[in-house]
Amino acid sequence: MTSTDSCFRIIPSHFDIFAGLDVDKKSMATTFSDHGTLVKSLRLPNNATHLLNYVDKHFAGQRIAFVYEAGPTGFGLHDELVARNHRCLVVAPSMVPTEPGKRVKTNRLDSRNLSLRLRGGELNGIHVPGRCYRELRHLVQLRDTHTRQLTATKCRIKALLLYEGIAFPEPSERWNARAIAGLQRLSCSSEVRFKLDHMIGTLYFHFNSAALVQKRIRQFCKKDPELGQSIALLTSLPGVGWITAAHAVARLGDWRELKNVRQIAGFLGLVSSEHSTGDKQNRGSITRSGDSRLRNKLIQCAWVAIKQDPELRAFYRSVYQRQPQKLAARKAIVAVARKLTTRMYVVLKEQRPYIIRPEISEAPLTAEETVGSGERLDASQNEQS
């Protein structure tokens, strides 16, 4: 999560040396610069100990600020530098300014650019989540991986049946125990039978694996009172189930780091893109930045929420009625999802559960108003598990 808050950027006058690091799997290109003419570049092993030894030898007693781009190498380097009382920013690669028209790109030049940009105070860091939040992310990502593979395997089975001209055993085409049993009894050639049995086995594997990971997530959150409290607060929101709440806590990290009510919506890409100039305002579709899986889950939660909360249902209608018919439902539900992020911010910052106001009365939605609510149903169905 990016921020312009002072804890996510540095004041150059408070430091003597600015170290830009371009980190890859085995090594890091490093550039040191000061407020004068010093610019020194070298390559070091991807190891914080080597970096710290070099710094202690050549820049002893000087105030040093480090920066590197977020990527596959994770936050271990950041943790070790901070543990040694150094300031370290981790920046999003897309937010690092670059010179237009520059056609030469190397690790050394990238590290130099980071160092000079850091010296100029041009870089905003991202929020580095604590260890428990990172571990929860691993579990959430693993569950989502199995869920996506489960859905993909179902599609492959149906594609095989369609190719062979075999009807799906369940008339409603729902995936349940009766449908699986019917697939196992289908009459087909030996090779098709072999392929189908293999995919059914894959189906069981991903289903059981997702259930096992979900159980592990619950156990992990029960051991940490802060995680459990945050998830409990988020599940008090209408439409938000345990799965989405756990995913949101994993991605947002420590609720104390949330600085304003717009931060969550911006982080999830639920705010409008804009290209305005002068008196002309030109706003486009949502930015779609951040975690697309969490954004999709939150939109599915919004479909459930408007059925449970009269206030959200009234808000949905007010947006729906102002939009062209073709896009009304889609735009209105995204607006509801954004409103849910506002409520998420409030319950986390104030550490109190949300309570639906019973005095508000709103008529149920019509079928015409909910066109599009059947898209991507897996997330909303899983919320109830």
Instruction: Please list the rounded mean pLDDT of every run of 10 residues in the chain (385 residues).
Output: 60 96 95 93 94 95 96 94 95 91 91 95 92 96 97 96 94 91 93 97 97 97 94 96 96 91 91 78 82 95 94 93 91 95 96 84 76 49 42
> 287: number of CA atoms within 13 Å, CB side?
16
Give the pLDDT confidence score for residue 356 in this predicted structure.
85
Give the pLDDT confidence score for residue 111 in this predicted structure.
96
Give the pLDDT confidence score for residue 379 in this predicted structure.
41
Tell me the CA distances in angstroms from 171 to 176, 177, 374, one per residue in order: 12, 13, 19
Phi and psi at residue 235, in whole multiples of 5°?
A: -75, -10
Give the pLDDT confidence score for residue 382 in this predicted structure.
45
Give the pLDDT confidence score for residue 45 in this predicted structure.
95
Give the pLDDT confidence score for residue 377 in this predicted structure.
37
Give the pLDDT confidence score for residue 1 in this predicted structure.
61
Q: Is residue 274 within 8 Å of 281, Cβ to Cβ?
A: yes
Give the pLDDT confidence score for residue 359 in this predicted structure.
64
Length of the chain: 385
What predicted TM-score, i.e. pTM, was given to this entire model? 0.86
State the angle between helix axes of 328-350 and 292-308 in degrees (0 to 180), rounded to the nearest 10: 90
Handedness of CA 193, 198, 199, 201 (dihedral sign): positive
